[in-house]
Structure 1
């Protein structure tokens, strides 16, 4: 039996701009996990069970793909990506039973903590280990990004990086369409070795003397739908779009430097700026980033001396706030204000490690 788990994530700064290759974002892994367990097969093929979907769905390999399709597209794409690598090495497609268990949902409703990324990373790590593949963190990340790029090349992959490395990270995305085509044209093995222009990830120190508070709006949102919607808008490529990407990148750079210096007040100021940039984007494009509850979440934090913003694409899901860690009364007041506004304070803390046993 092989078991691997991967943490969820929160975006701290850089949303939307990070989808442009080479642009920075800050993320933090959180102590809620997706766990994937792989065991020997009872029958031929691949059996997939999940506490979020089908139980005991049995699939067969056909020309490198698993059929019939049984939902859980990120799980299937991760398995198929490992199978592509095995095929290039002259090895057969694997057969096994796989179980997915998620701590990133509430009775089947997602919190917005990167469940798609976490299940991709955990599945890939578990299946690779079952197949006796020895992979570095970066190789696991690259395979996970290839798997998700087959489904939607617009996603930045920041969630995958947080789930792989854990902790606080600075992340820059590669050109996902380019790396997908690289793998299709020259093979997965070559895509693991070749340079990925724009890609970078490095650890960051956690903020000093600041508490990270997380509030859930109770409303799930689709990051893929919001990002796809933005890509379809004529706003892309305009001076306003270029200004958003540039000012957001400057904000993220300043926030990274604040983390590295241990400058809490400067980091708090950059979180406020990041919120303002997202609000300007929302005003210009009418994307629906800020819902009434996300606005209330941010205003409640400001009222007690903190700084807050949506985490991720917005439209629901979660928001984050940074407050003085020693101001326990202010933290308690924030949680009370959130509860009064219908926002659920989540007992979430940063996860120091990425995918693990």
Structure 2
């Protein structure tokens, strides 16, 4: 009997978080290959299993399995006929000791479910089509996020993501069928960014959970035109610096983005994120919070392997765990 296995990871923002919630703004988002796995196979009865829960579900509405079920519904509509019976097993919680990493598990689950079914039922999806189907699912479920997380997870790369008018597309979803909506130009842009710098990209986990929705709501009300314009300017500089291997411009622009976030809301840099940032002092490193802030993860880009080690020692002393590390263009 046919069985398939697929994986999706998480994401972290380099720059542009909060601003990207406004249509037309850009964010730089890096793919984090800490993965969730989906195993799918044809079966006698449809059974959904996730290691987040102690029980399995069917297609019958279940609040815990709501996102997985909504993703299945979207794929079934796309498939154009009732899906044969299947088993879907999802594992890998993107968490440790019951604490979430904050690298995008809900977005990952949506992309993962659609990806698994597309492989099982021989539907060859491009990264863009996978992104649109996942975004459609989340918009239909009333999600208010920028969709940058699923763009990054669908493309599995460092991307520059320009957000679209989600309210407008949500209206189109209410009015039209899936095919019509998928064929529309939503107005987003996704560009793969190949970092040309020689650097270490480091992710520090504070073990303090951020309450994203509350944080976003509070900070969102403080976003003004100046914040948006300044952030967009720095995000574009940051992107160009990555592409042209301009270390000083990259450090400068990420520092400005960090200052803009701190100016937006003091709640973004909570104590441990402050320590994560301050650990860069005197080192050839730029560090900042990532995503909604208020906990979860921060990032650092280091231009010296010796300095990377000093930073990691400082993080350890501050109770910050190295969650992920990758090398850009080291010999």
- TM superposition score normalised by structure 1: 0.86
Aligned pairs for 1:187-202 within 5 A: 187-197=177-187, 199-202=188-191
Using the alignment, how far apart are the partners of 1:350 and 1:107 within structure 2?
27
Q: Deviations over 1:196-227 (max 9, x none)?
A: 12x00011112412211110000122323322
Q: By how many angstroms is 1:168 displaced?
A: 1.3
Give the corresponding residue for 1:48.
Answer: 48
Q: Deviations over 1:60-86 (max 9, x none)?
A: 3xxxxxx2x141433222112112323
Q: Deviations over 1:336-355 (max 9, x none)?
A: 1111111111233389xxxx
Give the corresponding residue for 1:74.
Answer: 67
Aligned pairs for 1:131-280 within 5 A: 131-197=121-187, 199-231=188-220, 233=221, 235=222, 241-280=224-263
Q: Is the 8 A contact 2:200 2:305 kept in 1?
A: no
Q: Is the 8 A contact 1:294 1:319 kept in 2?
A: yes
Change (3 A) 1:150 1:350: farther
* Structure 1 ranges of 4+ moved more than 4 A: none
Q: Is the 8 A contact 1:35 1:100 kept in 2?
A: yes
Q: Deviations over 1:169-206 (max 9, x none)?
A: 10011112222221221111111111112x00011112
Counterpart check, 1:281 vs 2:264: yes
Counterpart check, 1:299 vs 2:282: no
Secondary structure at 1:35's aligned position in 2? Answer: strand
Give the corresponding residue for 1:57.
Answer: 57
Change (3 A) 1:291 1:12: same
Higher relative contact order (CA 8 A, sep 6+): 1
Q: 2:316 aligns with which of 339, 342, 355?
A: 339
For structure 1, the 5+ residue unaligned runs are 61-66, 352-357
Q: By how many angstroms is 1:127 displaced?
A: 1.5
Give the corresponding residue for 1:316.
Answer: 295
Secondary structure at 1:302's aligned position in 2? Answer: coil
Using the alignment, how far apart are the partners of 1:273 and 1:249 within structure 2?
11
Change (3 A) 1:103 1:329: farther
Q: By how many angstroms is 1:167 displaced?
A: 1.9
Counterpart check, 1:290 vs 2:269: yes
Q: Deviations over 1:91-150 (max 9, x none)?
A: 114532111112621133211111111111111111222233232221111000011112
Using the alignment, how far apart are the partners of 1:124 and 1:348 within structure 2?
28
Q: Is the 8 A contact 1:154 1:228 kept in 2?
A: no
Q: Is the 8 A contact 1:142 1:192 kept in 2?
A: yes
Change (3 A) 1:80 1:29: same
